[in-house]
Structures are given as C-alpha cells and as structure tokens.
Amino acid sequence: GNSVTQMEGPVTLSEEAFLTINCTYTATGYPSLFWYVQYPGEGLQLLLKATKADDKGSNKGFEATYRKETTSFHLEKGSVQVSDSAVYFCALHNPSNQAGTALIFGKGTTLSVSS
Amino acid sequence: NAGVTQTPKFRVLKTGQSMTLLCAQDMNHEYMYWYRQDPGMGLRLIHYSVGEGTTAKGEVPDGYNVSRLKKQNFLLGLESAAPSQTSVYFCASSYWRESDTQYFGPGTRLTVL
C-alpha cells in the first residue's frame, strides 16, 4: 500500500540553523509529493509540492527534491527563523489509488526554533 | 475570500449525543474532504466528495455520515458520539483533482466525554 514515514520529532533548533526533516514514502506508480505546514491553532497550509521525479519544490526558503531512486522527499531550509516553529507534514497522492483515499499524510514533525 | 470555514470551533459532547459539523468554501471547489487529526497519527480521511450530491468513504468512515447538498457546503454528522471520536476535525477542499492543492479550514476541536 501507500504510506509516508517522517522523522520523529520534536526538532529543536536555534535561529539561523540548518533544517532537514526526512520523509520517505512507499507507493506504486508515480505519486505527487507535498509538504504541508500547520502553525499553532491553525489548519494546514501547502508549503511546497513536486509532481514528478527530480522536481524540486520550493517556497519561503524551504525546498525539497523528489528522489524516486531513494523514495524520499526531504524538507530543507538553510536558515530557520523563530516564525518557522510549526508542525510539518509530508504527504503523497497516488493517482493509481482505488477510490477512498485522498492525500496520505505522515504523522508530522514538530519544529521548535528558539532565538 | 474567506477560503474554508468550519463551524463550530470547539464542542464538548456527552457519549451518545449527536452533532453536525459544518464546512463551507467560497472557492467554487469541486472536491471536499473531512479529516481527523489525532496525536501521533497524522491526518486520516473520514469521507470525501467529488461534487455536489456525491459522497464517498475514506479510511476511517465508521460512526460518521456526510452530506453535500450544496457545492459550497460539506456536513459531517456524528449520530451517537463515542469517546473514540474525540479529535480535531479538519475540512479541506480542492479544485477538481485529489492531487491539486488542498485548502484547509481552521479545524474543530471535539471532546466526547
């Protein structure tokens, strides 16, 4: 079946540190991959996405590259800010899924950035 | 544009009570979804709809019913609430394909005692 595995949190960093949140997936065919972010007390917002192998999604200084050979979509940012503190979700959509599924989410990784 | 709105924001129920959560979107999206979010579980799909008048089961549909009588609204009902349904519920919508960007509401925090 389809699944997404994210690194366990919480991740605690100082401002301006480098961030990596690992995400790997299991899927048949050619899924689309997403990173969503959830700020405290809010719903999820799309951060970036990639729809085919070797695509790089980027937004707000975050980026992730769709690696089919390693089935990964790791999220990176060169210099985090306190305002990046949130929960980050990796997700996939597999167009070959049977009806009954939409996005498949990882369990989420909490990032806490201190000044 | 308000985007996706959810009513209510918080609710406490007793076991066996019923309630309806309302989701509304003003983006003319065809697809709408209900998810639940539990600690350490990520988001799981309850039900979804691919257009007005249609509904379909997701990963965890038991104990819930839905209706999509109008394109802009998607209702989630709990007929007889159970403590296992204590969760945060999110509604989302997308333009027409499941792989399109999904836009999420702010969530409803439900506690069943």
Tens digits of residue pLDDT in A102-113: 788 999 999 999
Q: Is B48 on the interface with A (CB under 8 A)?
A: yes
What is the pLDDT at residue B90? 95
Q: Which of A44, A46, A101 sits opposite B59 (nearest CB)?
A: A101
Report d(CA B34, CA B31) in Å as an integer.
11
Burial A47-79 (b: 16+ CB within 10 A, else e): bbbbeeeeeebeeeebbbbbbeeeebbbbebee
Cβ-contact B31, B23 below 8 angstroms: no
Give the distance from residue B23's alpha carbon to the nearest chain A alpha carbon, in angstroms: 13
Label residue A100 by pLDDT band (50, 70, 90).
Answer: very low
Neighbouring residues of B88: CB distance < 8 A, sequence distance ≥ 6? B36, B37, B38, B107, B108, B109, B110
Looking at every residue in chain A, the average pLDDT score rounds to: 91
How far from A78 is each of A2, A28, A33, CA to CA, in Å? 30, 32, 21
Residue B43: closest C-alpha in chain A: A105
Taking residues A69-87, report their average pLDDT. 97
Residue A5: closest C-alpha in chain B: B42
Taking residues A78-97, report their average pLDDT. 89
What is the pLDDT at residue A9? 84
Instruction: Tell me the percentage of chain B whose pLDDT exceeds 70.
Output: 96
Cβ-contact B91, B104 below 8 angstroms: yes
What are B55-99's pLDDT values in tens digits?
999 889 999 999 999 999 999 999 999 999 999 999 999 887 656
Label residue A96 by pLDDT band (50, 70, 90).
Answer: low
Q: Could you tell me the two tokens for B84?
A: 């296992």
Q: Which of B40, B44, B104 sits opposite A44 (nearest CB)?
A: B104
Report d(CA A41, CA A30) in Å as an integer.
33
Rg from Cα positions in chain B: 13
Q: Is B19 on the interface with A (CB under 8 A)?
A: no
Contact residues on chain A for B99, CB-CB shorter than 8 A: 32, 51, 93, 95
Provide the phi-psi class of A87: left if phi over 0, else alpha when psi is between -120 and 50, else beta. beta
Label residue A2 by pLDDT band (50, 70, 90).
Answer: confident
One-letter amino acid identity for B87? Answer: S
Q: Is the pLDDT of residue A99 over 70?
A: no
CA angle, A12 as apex, A7 and A17 as ends, to 5°? 100
Label residue B17 by pLDDT band (50, 70, 90).
Answer: very high
Task: Out of A54-68, B7-21, B38-52, pick the least confident.
Answer: B38-52
